[in-house]
Structure 1
């Protein structure tokens, strides 16, 4: 194992991939997360890390450091997108509403599991006009939206009464199959948001355990309702001064995210991330030879937004792995997952720069500054050419 003193620790990529595959096998749409919470807790126990659970199942694990005040936190979420039964239809199929924000375009054709009081049932989400032999070109002209899809249950159900007799009811949770494939370092699957983030945290935690003593306590948080906006609203402690959220970046036209290395989000729809914490992470990438770039996300929020909105006075940043087709059939590369995990190890081991953050309140002594002086030009103007007024 290669360790840069005070910096990153090498990641066990095999463990990272194996735990990600295990996570993907466990259905966990928001509202149906008990089983994946149990899995993560058992994984923490294997690693020898102590943890505690909130009433609903958010996990707060802790690696002790030299100090408790001014603690750090790293957070990701175990819940994923999914659906819920809205109505039992007269034709024996199910009307759905989405759990989380995702397009019905990506739901069409998905294999699913419906969780009822009588047990689980398999099924397929289909457009209302699914048969080309019946509807011909109307299959292509049907609008896209949740009002235009239905769930066909793999059971004898020709009417609403048949479905009711099966034990399926309004409100039942529907999980969508991930269908993962791994090839040439690429991982293609649904729900990489954010099971990949959970795997990254567990791999980083495994690596950090064998490192030197941490400068401050580091909390490893796993939330259960980020996809519906709750996130880290109720899992922080007063001594936590800074929190790094781990989630997916948006590799798409018009974005600067990449499927390789770390992508640091400078802002999302909730506003800019903390100036000092974000720049600390960027500097750690440079110092530890971790590929990095920056991006701004316009239609995006994470665990950090819910924490700030809940009133937590905590510095926040967002470290991401670039995901192509986020909230659809997603793709990432192992290089990005490893890079983010390495950054987390460097962050956990890094020296505390803002000592004042150990106190919730104080005066100006030790308070941070942001640069205001004009930047010096990197390349001086040639003496043969004086500035032209038209250049301005």
Structure 2
């Protein structure tokens, strides 16, 4: 029995890694998520479920079970940018979507998506990136950043003729890779890594590998990066856990190989009893975990509370280093997170 469980878990982890590569390959800066949710809808239908997409764009799917309704939430919107204006020299001035850090994107390849369906590549650079020209380094902040299109354009009119206009979406290259040692490196592990974990759970339920002890639904949100992704959930929800990234950094116990259980973030404390239960399960299963406080963090489930829902709330996720940067996690962190979630929905 044990070897069969281990084989099933390894297969699920491989599936999660594959889903991550697919999801990160789909550009979905916050506000531009239709392609990502189309993929979720199709994938969940293929498993035999009946997902629904809200007017807002969130995808909700009931996995089954009865009683004490639980929602597990992750988000598929990411950081990104939008065309703010077109400069006279044919370069694009960007504006941030979400908590984007321009210092991490200076020199990054990107893609511009126009409203009429055209797609153009480019590169993000500051206004004087050449060490052989600049008298002093230019600070990589929004007002000093621009997008150089990989097109022969030298004027605003040249760019307009391509069909590019204010409000078009700019997506950064995710550069997703999984090393032989198990490290997962990519932009947008926040939160496509945990979205992939929830797809892995859905697949395990569909295949009969996981039996639900209560009603469980998955919610994939599309406006988390701007603060209102989880503002609407089913009315019968009793409990909600945001499965997002776990923070790794100074004064935190979590590493990339752990599952993080958040006790408090910028929105205040998470439900004390739920945090206790999750940590007790992690300890019983001998999972690598840490209980941490995130000083600069907000989650989908806090948007749910702000919307007036009377729920117990929690936040967990695989440890992710360098958040809102080129991020890094590890397959062990994925394993610990998945095993905690799997155990919780079965207890």
TM range, smaller chain: over 0.9
Structure 1 unmatched runs, 5+ = 351-392
Corresponding residue of 2:101:
103
Q: How many residues align?
A: 341
Residue by residue, what CA displacement relative to the aligned partner does 1:284-330 show, whole Å, maximum 9, x if unpaired? 11222222111100001011111111111111100111111100010
After superposition, what is the alpha-carbon deviation per residue over 1:160-209, rounded to whole angstroms, capped at 9, x for unaligned? 11111111111111111101121110011111111101001111222234
- Deviation string 1:81-108 (CA, Å, 9 cap, x unpaired) is 0000111111110111110012110120
The alpha-carbon deviation at position 29 of structure 1 amounts to 0.5
Quote the offset at 1:4 in angstroms: 12
Query: 1: distance between equivalents of 2:285 and 2:202?
Result: 18
1:61 aligns to what?
Answer: 61
Query: Are the equivalent residues in 2 in contact too, given 1:3–1:10 (CA < 8 A)?
Result: no
Larger radius of gyration: 1
Instruction: In structure 2, list runs of 5 or more residues that go unmatched.
Output: none
Q: Which residue of 2 aligns with 1:85?
A: 83
Q: Out of 241-250 and 50-59, give the one that drifted further.
A: 50-59
* TM-score, L = length of structure 2: 0.94
The correspondence for 1:190, drawn from 182, 187, 190, is 187
Displacement of 1:131 after TM fit? 2.1
| TM-score computed with the length of structure 1 as normaliser | 0.84
Q: Which residue, out of 251, 256, 273, partners 1:254?
A: 251
Name 1:128's counterpart in structure 2.
127
- Secondary structure of the 2:88 match is coil
SS of 2:195 mapped into structure 1: helix
The 1-side partners of 2:210 and 2:195 are apart by 23
Partner secondary structure for residue 60 of structure 2: strand
Match of residue 26 from structure 1: 26
| CA deviation string 1:55-93 (max 9, x = no partner) | 1321111122133xx201100001100000111111110
Contact 2:111 2:171 in 1 (8 A): yes
Supply the RMSD in Å over aligned alpha carbons: 1.8
| Helix, strand or coil at the partner of 1:264 | strand
How far apart are residue 43 of structure 1 and its match?
A: 1.4
Q: Secondary structure at the match of 2:170?
A: strand
Tell me which residue corresponds to 1:342.
Answer: 339
Task: Please give the alpha-carbon distance, in whole angstroms, between the structure 2 residues aligned to 1:343 and 1:308.
Answer: 23
Any conservation in 1 of the 2:247–2:260 contact (CA below 8 Å)? no
